[in-house]
Structure 1
């Protein structure tokens, strides 16, 4: 990738599909290719409480924080901003593009249901309430994302994070 205007990749998908892990692997791959960038986890940007009653996932706070953080990274020379998060409605894309401050490509990661359920069981071992919520949320969010068609491209996760990262970068032309 030659130097030029920055661009953003937003990895979306249901809980447990590997968004954060793949974002980290993309960051490693971009660094190995000497492409300046930044990796962001939107969960951390919106983690505040209590959430407003009309914004249960703190999406407005997330976009405001993303706007500030992205500006800092672009100013520092980032060519590729990559983030893990969720957009449930196509109408939300413009808000995220504005928050990133550069052209946005939305990449939906998918994984077999059995694989994700296995990951969630490991992740929430000993937390039956959290496990139940995440299992339900996986199914709910998968249905929402299927209907919303928010993504520009869909990439199935690979057998390991590096192969998933490489597949995403190929799919978006990096």
Structure 2
């Protein structure tokens, strides 16, 4: 049976880095997995409003998950900023597998330091979005566990893995 772990948090908190570390642990253990940055999968622009763009993402996700399952994947480790309960519920419904949710936190200054080394317009937008997400308390209450990620990524991944038990 397939299972999924979603790492969530604001832009710059280290979601993708923790997913990479957890994926390496699964690979080292010989467990079939897929590491997916769903923030990237949602990144497109066709002039749609946010809700319509989210529906396109949700329409694409089942085929991708099905293909991974057919290939033998059992564990999905994913990164995605989840701003509100509706986003989480639509993701749960679409995945149709047990989903554990872990939120990462870090001071805004840490995220700023991480993102400011890449002075692209996209990174500047991510920094502004992070500040808004923190100020608006986006994603509050939408997780099973929270981990601080202002330490080395390997330590955060170890804490998440310990919380997940034998799943990672």
After TM superposition, the score normalised by the length of structure 1 is 0.84
Distance 1:122 1:69, change over 3 A: same
The runs of 5 or more residues in structure 1 that have no matched partner are none
Q: CA deviation at 1:54?
A: 4.5
Shift of residue 131 of structure 1?
4.9
Tell whether the 8 Å contact from 2:38 to 2:80 is kept in structure 1 after alignment: yes
- Give the Å deviation of 1:147: 6.2
What do residues 50-81 of structure 1 show as CA deviations (whole Å, max 9, x unaligned)? 2412537x322222222211111122222210
Does the CA contact (< 8 Å) of 1:67 and 1:101 recur in 2? no
Measured after TM superposition, the shift of residue 162 of structure 1 is: 2.2
Q: Which runs of 4+ in 1 moved over 6 A?
A: none
* Distance of 1:52 and 1:118 partners within structure 2: 31
The 1:134/1:54 distance shift into structure 2, 3 A limit, reads closer
| Corresponding residue SS for 1:140 | helix
* 5+ residue gaps, structure 2: none
Pairwise CA distance, 1:43: 2.5
Write out aligned runs for 1:33-112 (5 A). 33-55=29-51, 58-112=53-107
Equivalent of 2:164 in 133, 147, 172: 172
- The offset of 1:113, in angstroms, is 2.0
Shift of 1:14: 0.5
Aligned equivalents of 2:2 and 2:156: distance in 1?
22
CA spacing shift, 1:36–1:24, aligned 2, 3 Å: same
1:158, distance to aligned residue in structure 2 (A): 5.5
> What's the secondary structure of 2:134's corresponding residue?
helix
Larger displacement relative to structure 2 (42-51 or 76-85) = 42-51
- Check conservation: 2:39, 2:81, Cα contact below 8 A: no
**Alignment equivalent of 2:134, drawn from 132, 138, 142:** 142
